[in-house]
Amino acid sequence: MLEWFQGLYQSSAIADMTLPQMIQHLFNAVALGSLYGLIAIGYTMVYGILRLINFAHGDMFMLGAYFVFFTTVAFMPAGVACFFIAVAIYVIYGILRGFRRRPSLLPLSGVIGFVLSGLYFTAVKPVSFQLPWPAALVLAIAATSFCGVVVDRIAYRPLRDAPRISALISAIGISFFIESLSVVLFTGLPRPVLQPEWLMTPITFSLGAEKTADSLVRILPLSLLVPCITAGLVLGLLFIIHRTKPGLAMRAISRDIETTRLMGVSVDKIIALTFALGSALAAASGIMWALRYPQIQPYMGITPGLKAFIAAVFGGIGSIPGAMVGGILLGGMEILLIAVFPQLSGYRDAFAFTLLIAILLVKPTGLFGAKLEDKI
């Protein structure tokens, strides 16, 4: 055993690693880790509120990537776009003011105007255009969160009062269902994703006095953007949960669903909102993942989903900042393993799962997890 460790140490790459290489590995680690973190925050949010490990999260992630693939390359008929905008205005207004209230003139005229122009562009003058990139992103995220709400309605809501294990099994079932349905709808063929050039041109800088190939360190603008997005979403999510009315209801649900219901909160709506938010986060992470690794296929969500689960447990499942930190640490450790012990590079996934087991054995609450009762 000792000899094996000695051999491992001697063959490790740490002795002949130069500073630029080390920095490069560090950058790679942050780039990968923040992606894990981004997926993990959605996972952990749904768990924190419902105590449900949403195995379909990885599939929402995949759907987000597919939707952005379709919305960026497809030509959008202007009529359909107008209908979408009309529905969006209605939904946003409804969430802000309540669906039952009589709408005021401005949003009402907006909805009617867009419906009419939608009819005009469909029937009289059919035009189509390519969606600008940000609009494509928003549309893909909206579509995914709609799917999240549908999943909740079909697979989880009927089991709300059933034992927790039933919902877990239902989650696994719906996950397989979405994957298989996607194979039928989108085919198993991996598809390339459109990448905006400005995100993908590496920023290069030199660490040595001379600019040789060995002293260069490269990082993609995208890899700088992802941690910022992750941090921003964490802050946004914390704001929603701790500073808004629906957030208060979510926290109440996480403690006791029945009592919350008795307090006059419409629990099903709040849970639907939770899934909408969680799926929107999954879509955002799926889009970022697809930009970084521009190859999408129906099973792309499985491995990242499992890694994000490990990250969430590592950070303390239920804790949103914990998920982000856990993701970055997991990515860092994976890269470090390969950087220091290249001959162990095939054991990267084994390492990640060993880590999961170790955390569950030693500190099941993870880094930031509080006791089960008051976790959000």
Partner 1 sequence: MLKKIIAGFFALLMLCGSAFAAENIKIGVYLPLTGQNAFGGQLELEGIQLAHKEAPSVLGRTVELIIVDNKSDKVEAANAVTRLTARENVVGIIGTYGSSLAMAGGEVAEAAKTPVIGTSCTNPLVTLGKKYYFRACFIDPYQGAGAATYAMQKLKATNAAILQDVANDYAVGLAKFFENSFVQQGGTIVANLRYSSGDQDFTAQLTQIISKKPDVVFVPAYFAEGGIIMKQAKELGAAFRIMGGDAMDNPDTVKIAGGAAEGFLHTTFPYDPTMATMNPVAQKFTDLWKKAYPDKDPNVNAALGYTCYMMFIDAINRAGSDDREAITKAIAETKGLPAVTGTLTINDTHDAEMPIGIIEIKDGKRIYLGEITPAN
Contacting residues toward partner 1, per CB under 8 A: 13, 17-18, 21, 24-25, 28-29, 31-32, 180, 183-184, 187-192, 195, 200, 202, 204, 213, 216, 218, 220, 289, 292-295, 297, 299-300, 302-304, 334-335, 338-339, 342-343, 345-346, 348-349
In the complex with partner 1, the residue whose CB is nearer, 152 or 179, is 179
In the complex, the smallest distance separating the C-beta of residue 204 from partner 1, rounded to whole angstroms, is 7
Report in angstroms how near the CB of residue 357 gets to partner 1 at its nearest: 18
Least distance in Å: CB of 322 to partner 1?
22
CB of 38 to partner 1, least distance (A): 14
Between 188 and 364, whose beta carbon lies closer to partner 1?
A: 188
Rounded to the nearest whole angstrom, what is the least distance from the CB of residue 190 to partner 1 in the complex?
4
Compute the distance between CA of residue 43 and CA of residue 284 in angstroms, rounded to an integer.
13
Distance in Å, CB of 240 to partner 1, minimum:
30
Strand partners, 205: 217
C-beta closer to partner 1: residue 104 or 354: 354
CA–centroid distance for 263 within its chain: 32
Nearest to 237 by CA among 287, 288, 192, 278: 278
User: Quick one: 195 or 365, whose CB is closer to partner 1?
Assistant: 195
CB of 13 to partner 1, least distance (A): 7
Which burial class, exposed, middle or buried, applies to 213 when counting CB atoms under 10 A from its CB (0-12, 13-18, 19+)? exposed
Rank residues 17 and 87 by Cβ distance to partner 1 and give the closer one: 17
Q: CB of residue 187 vs partner 1: minimum separation in angstroms?
A: 7
Pick 169 or 337: Cβ nearer partner 1: 337
Nearer to partner 1, 239 or 347 (CB): 347
Nearer to partner 1 among residue 204 and residue 354 (C-beta): 204
Task: Report CA 196 to chain centroid distance, whole Å.
Answer: 20
Work out how close the CB of 313 gets to partner 1 at its nearest, in angstroms, rounded to a whole number.
19
Residue 78 phi/psi, 5-degree rounding, is -60, -35
Instruction: Give the residue with the Cβ less far from partner 1, 248 or 340.
Output: 340
The Cα 177–Cα 175 span in angstroms is 5
